[in-house]
Structure 1
């Protein structure tokens, strides 16, 4: 049995639904009867060509801006012509002729711990000569032995870092006193292995250094002018951060060392790698803003004494 309230609800809901359908139909008819806006005319071939030309010019402009920005940020790198004869500059250090010594060597046929031990007992240092930087991959490799006393004398007189940044002439003969010459070549000591307890020379790696090569070398630094440095005179101290700096060097102008001038350095000031004065053919292999040394404030112990 349908109640009185249900009848009233049904009678009310039907007209509402009918009205909503009518209003929806009316609005749809209004929208469909609106005039459709006219489509823009298709561009002519000439207009399309102009648009394409403007777009290409815009892309080219942005590309050139990127190139010019990169060119400004990129630092110029030194150029090296292997056919050009390089010489040391007058205002830069050059090798001391006192150490122009020929390193004498004899060939070895085999390698190994037992052979190396026998060589050392006989007063010889087992060594090897490679072909430039890729020698570890087998380029023109020769096993040799050099005289222990000669290498020990050079290392003691020059210092290890200076010995490893110096070119030598190497002569390989069947015996040390033989007149027969197997090979004569200019070499750079690449690695020097010393005994941890006695500093005895255990082995050496040499690398051939023709004028056309480019060699990576840790050039030692020599600090000068500390006696007149304004910062050091005020009681500050020198904080040495780097004692060698790696450069890519043509063999003909390898610096024996690099002078670091402290004469004008005040408290808080520093010298970075880009400040080092070297031959223009050398290429720095480290960031130019990497610090080499700095004049720091007084030490804590000195500050306590002053109080």
Structure 2
């Protein structure tokens, strides 16, 4: 379990303009909710949030002389700059089970890959239910035994004691597939195919074309 501390202040102003002014000051607007508590709007330092946010980290959020146990429910970022736009915290209790997503980490090189097969990972995260203190950093799975054409399903994942898999066990986590190759005939057709150059609209004719046009006009 990863436990971090984070300071925040109550935010009175809301709306896009107010949020923009906060971000210009290096602050991030957000909210905290959960456990039948009233939703509270807050603001916090962007640099502190960057250090605190992590894979299912449990956060001691200090807010007006009160410390709440929370986790990041949603963190919105600018797709271009990476700037934090808004954060949602969900209040939790250490003695109450919650549902979270946990990354799946593949270990080893499959037998199928050594034979030329291609690995396709269809599921990179799975949902589990457990106490906050039992949340695994990730779920590791050995794929070295997989042959070409074989798949590994979520039901085969070992989540650990006290951790229940919520994701459907029939979902495919990883498959070793046969690589798609072009036949020799397809390759020959590709190499011999001639692509006609498109006519350029507005392109001036060369001198030989102009002379030919003049001769035709004289005739």
The two structures have a TM-score, normalised by structure 1, of: 0.55
| Counterpart contact for 2:159–2:165, Cα < 8 Å | no
Partner of 2:88: 205
Partner of 2:190: none
Distance (Å, rounded) in 1 between the aligned partners of 2:34 and 2:158: 29
Q: Secondary structure at the match of 2:57?
A: coil
Kindly provide the CA deviation profile for residues 215-248 of structure 1, in whole angstroms up to 9, marking residues without a partner as x: 221111111112xx21111111110101111122
| Counterpart contact for 2:4–2:58, Cα < 8 Å | no
Bigger CA radius of gyration: 1
Give how far 1:164 is off.
4.8
Report whether the alignment pairs 1:237 with 2:135: no
Give how far 1:287 is off.
1.6
Report whether the alignment pairs 1:115 with 2:3: no
More helix by share: 1
Distance (Å, rounded) in 2 between the aligned partners of 1:300 and 1:128: 52
- Aligned pairs, number: 185
- For structure 2, which runs of at least 5 residues remain unmatched after alignment? 188-219
| Counterpart contact for 1:237–1:299, Cα < 8 Å | no
Partner of 2:108: 225
| Counterpart contact for 1:236–1:299, Cα < 8 Å | no
Distance (Å, rounded) in 2 between the aligned partners of 1:166 and 1:290: 26
Give how far 1:197 is off.
1.9
Partner of 1:165: 56
Report whether the alignment pairs 1:185 with 2:68: yes
Equivalent runs, 1:1-307 vs 2, <5 Å: 95=1, 100-132=3-35, 139-153=37-51, 163-173=54-64, 182-226=65-109, 229-300=110-181
Distance (Å, rounded) in 1 between the aligned partners of 2:142 and 2:66: 42
Distance (Å, rounded) in 2 between the aligned partners of 1:171 and 1:154: 13
Distance (Å, rounded) in 1 between the aligned partners of 2:52 and 2:161: 29
Distance (Å, rounded) in 2 between the aligned partners of 1:167 and 1:261: 28
Kindly provide the CA deviation profile for residues 172-205 of structure 1, in whole angstroms up to 9, marking residues without a partner as x: 25xxxxxxxx111221110011112212110110
Partner of 1:29: none
Distance (Å, rounded) in 2 between the aligned partners of 1:164 and 1:107: 25
Distance (Å, rounded) in 1 between the aligned partners of 2:52 and 2:181: 40
RMSD: 2.2
- For structure 1, which runs of at least 5 residues remain unmatched after alignment? 1-94, 156-162, 174-181
Q: Secondary structure at the match of 2:87?
A: strand
More strand by share: 2
